[in-house]
Amino acid sequence: MNFFGRAVLGVTHQKLVRNLITDTRPGRALSRRFVAGETLDEAITAAVDLNAKGASVSLDHLGEHVADRTQAIAARDDYLACLDAIGRHDIDGNISVKLSQLGMGFDDALAAKSLDALARRALDVGTTVSVDMEESAVTGLTIDIYSGAQRAHGNLGLAVQSYLHRTRQDLDTIIPLGGHVRLCKGAYAEPEDVAYQSRAEVDSSFDRLTHLLMSDPDVKPAIASHDADRLEVARRLAAGRSGPYEYQMLYGVRTALQDQMLAAAEPLRVYVPYGVAWYPYLTRRMAERPANVTFFLRAAFRG
Ligand SMILES: Cc1cc2nc3c(=O)[nH]c(=O)nc-3n(C[C@H](O)[C@H](O)[C@H](O)COP(=O)(O)OP(=O)(O)OC[C@H]3O[C@@H](n4cnc5c(N)ncnc54)[C@H](O)[C@@H]3O)c2cc1C
């Protein structure tokens, strides 16, 4: 992550700034560009619209680093309700989960048990569970918990981050498990001993990992990026690929490009976040792009 991104994440951790964004109209307006709504019904409406355009979806009930068991169990139950809604509305989609939302960090066994419950319910409704990748401090633990659930149920997938030095080696553990693998650049501020710092290094790692995943017919790669150059590399490899693959993009980001890809019948899944706990997700989207911060500041000063 560059200097700008780190600065944004640093500033947005301040309580005053958080209140300025969560309690004001410009802040909530910015959140609505990237978040489908605060309720499951709103997320399902967005999913139905995206399915109608030809995109599959991954529903993310926002929340991370919950504080206690009660919150972790509530998060699991919200996801069970989300899976039931996917089944009831016949949505072409799955769920994306952060293990820290299910208790990883203070009760790893609970997080593993909840992931098991989600995988079982997903099997009942004929879908899958994607596990998001969080900060590097929990990469190993995330892979361990994911591996247990994937071995038991076989219907999960995991995100990996091209900015981490360790990812190439982690794929030697992850690929044989057979789940889908979402390749993204990585959205957290990480130190240089664990992560590439320059854009060029992160991009070139992304291309190498795209090559590795797209050349293996037994893995289902999901190339998760809005970066035209990265997508072009993936497209060239897709042309000669026999196995399944897809592209993934975030709700509200580069929507014109999403429409173009759907018009060209490219396989696209849109990650649809929803829920009241949207603040940390929004700060990462602001850190990725100066224009998102400018949008907020302009609206705030106008207001
Ligand atoms: C489906 C999906 C799932 C993800 N899951 C994870 C995860 O589990 N763990 C994790 O660490 N990260 C995750 N990410 C985030 C990812 O790591 C990057 O931070 C993010 O996608 C931006 O990188 P980029 O590849 O789009 O390239 P960039 O070089 O950042 O962006 C390329 C272009 O896309 C546009 N763009 C990118 N971001 C924004 C934005 N916020 N607002 C407006 N325009 C933008 C801009 O035009 C930019 O020039 C996910 C991303 C996607 C698409």
pLDDT tens track for 108-142: 999 999 999 999 999 999 999 999 999 999 999 99
Amino acid 224: pLDDT: 98
CA of 69 to the centre of ligand 1 (A): 31
263-270: which pairs have CB atoms within 8 A and are 24 or more residues apart? Answer: 265/54, 266/235, 267/56, 268/54, 268/55, 268/56, 269/55, 269/56, 269/57, 269/58, 269/93, 269/222, 270/50, 270/55, 270/56, 270/57, 270/58
261-302 pLDDT tens trace: 999 999 999 999 999 887 778 888 877 777 777 766 766 666
Which of 99, 162, 184 should be mutated for ligand 1, with most atoms under 8 A from CB?
A: 184
Amino acid 276: pLDDT: 82
Q: Give CA–CA dist 237/196, Å, rounded.
A: 24
Amino acid 299: pLDDT: 64
Nearest atom (ligand 1) to Cα of 224: 53
- List, by residue number, the catalytic residues: 132, 182
Nearest atom (ligand 1) to Cα of 286: 41
Residue 303 in this model has a pLDDT that exceeds 60: no
Write out residues with Cβ below 6 Å of ligand 1: 132-133, 159, 161, 182, 184-188, 224-227, 248-250, 253-254, 271, 285, 288-289, 292
Residue 20, CA distances (Å) to 65, 87, 282, 300 in order? 22, 38, 13, 9
Q: Give CA–CA dist 83/43, Å, rounded.
A: 12
Amino acid 16: pLDDT: 65
CA of 285 to the centre of ligand 1 (A): 8
In contact, 271 and 249? CB cutoff 8 Å? yes
For residue 192, the 8-state DSSP code is T
Amino acid 242: pLDDT: 87
Angle between helices 69-88 and 40-53 (to 10 degrees): 40
CA of 226 to the centre of ligand 1 (A): 6
Nearest atom (ligand 1) to Cα of 199: 29
Residue 72 in this model has a pLDDT that exceeds 60: yes
Residue 53 in this model has a pLDDT that exceeds 60: yes
Residue 7 in this model has a pLDDT that exceeds 90: no
234-248 pLDDT tens trace: 999 999 898 999 999
Provide the 3-class DSSP secondary structure of residue 222: strand
Amino acid 69: pLDDT: 95
Amino acid at 226: H
| pTM attached to this predicted model | 0.93
CA of 148 to the centre of ligand 1 (A): 28
88-105 pLDDT tens trace: 999 999 999 999 999 999
15-38 pLDDT tens trace: 666 666 677 777 777 778 889 998
Amino acid 130: pLDDT: 98
Domain annotation for the chain: domains and CATH numbers:
1-35+287-303 (no CATH), 39-277 (3.20.20.220)
Amino acid 77: pLDDT: 97
Residue nearest to atom 30 of ligand 1 (CA): 288
Considering the chain, what is the average pLDDT of its residues? 91
Residue 159 banded pLDDT, cuts 50, 70, 90: very high
Amino acid 80: pLDDT: 98
For residue 246, the 8-state DSSP code is E
CA of 109 to the centre of ligand 1 (A): 31
Which of 207, 226, 231 should be mutated for ligand 1, with most atoms under 8 A from CB?
A: 226
Other beta carbons within 10 angstroms of residue 247's beta carbon come to: 24
